[in-house]
Amino acid sequence: MTVEEALRLLTDGVLEVEGRMVDASNATLYCTTTLDGITAACVYKPVRGERPLWDFPDGTLAGREVSAYLVSVATGWDVVPPTVLREGPFGPGMCQLWVDVDETVDLAALARSDHPDLRRMAVLDAVINNADRKGGHLLPTPEGRVHGVDHGVCFSSEDKLRTLLWQWRSLPLTDEAVEVLSRVRAELEGALGEHLHEHLTRREVRATVRRVDRLLSTGLHPEPSEDWPAIPWPPF
């Protein structure tokens, strides 16, 4: 299906809970969504199932997941699967299209590789200030793509980048990345910025603009911070 069809299915389809992903820290439900005779698997994370965090406001993680998708769309890199905010069986929450993964891929080896999708993901994470890029959040597909999920702890106004993807630290950004970041920067002043304001504070959106400006100014992948743990724990 097209992205537009997927978004409509996620937004307007009938959600049926099939089970719960018990290894997730927040309530994460495996569901199906059905509309006009079409059914797809999806993940539904109700806001009421979010665990309180000391450094992120309560009830905001679902909106941050949607915001990460919006920035992913702006890059054109298709890092984050289609994601919407909608009403569900347990109230409002994030709903994201399920991605079937290649179970034969060694995630530890993948996370250390130079896969081009991972390098793009590293740039996206620097933009959205991802504080939790674990190996288990990488979804390698049978077609050879790698998608990223679990973006609830992103967009803090303070630098919190924490990731396994440090293999490009201090290396020059690719020409593609510079071109994409320039486009994202312009969109942050327009429609993208307006959409982000629906889910984030003005301070958080301004901080996103500053992170893009910093990447474009240095032309380099960021270095790990000395004031914040560089790698999430547990890493997988």
68 beta partners? none
pLDDT for res 235 = 86
**Which pTM was predicted?**
0.96
pLDDT for res 225 = 87
pLDDT for res 149 = 98
Q: Do the beta carbons of residue 19 and residue 10 sit within 8 Å?
A: no
- How many CB atoms lie under 10 A from the CB of residue 111? 23
pLDDT for res 228 = 82
pLDDT for res 8 = 98
Helix (H) or strand (E) holding 211: helix 202-218
pLDDT for res 226 = 85
pLDDT along the chain (236 residues), means of 10: 96 97 90 97 97 93 98 98 97 97 96 97 98 96 97 96 97 98 97 97 98 98 90 88
Q: Which pair of tokens denotes residue 109?
A: 């080896």
Q: Which CATH architecture has domain 3-218?
A: Orthogonal Bundle (1.10)
Looking at this protein, which amino acid is placed at residue 4? Answer: E
Query: What is the per-residue DSSP string for 70-94?
Result: HHHHHHTS--SPPEEEEEETTEEEE
pLDDT for res 23 = 84
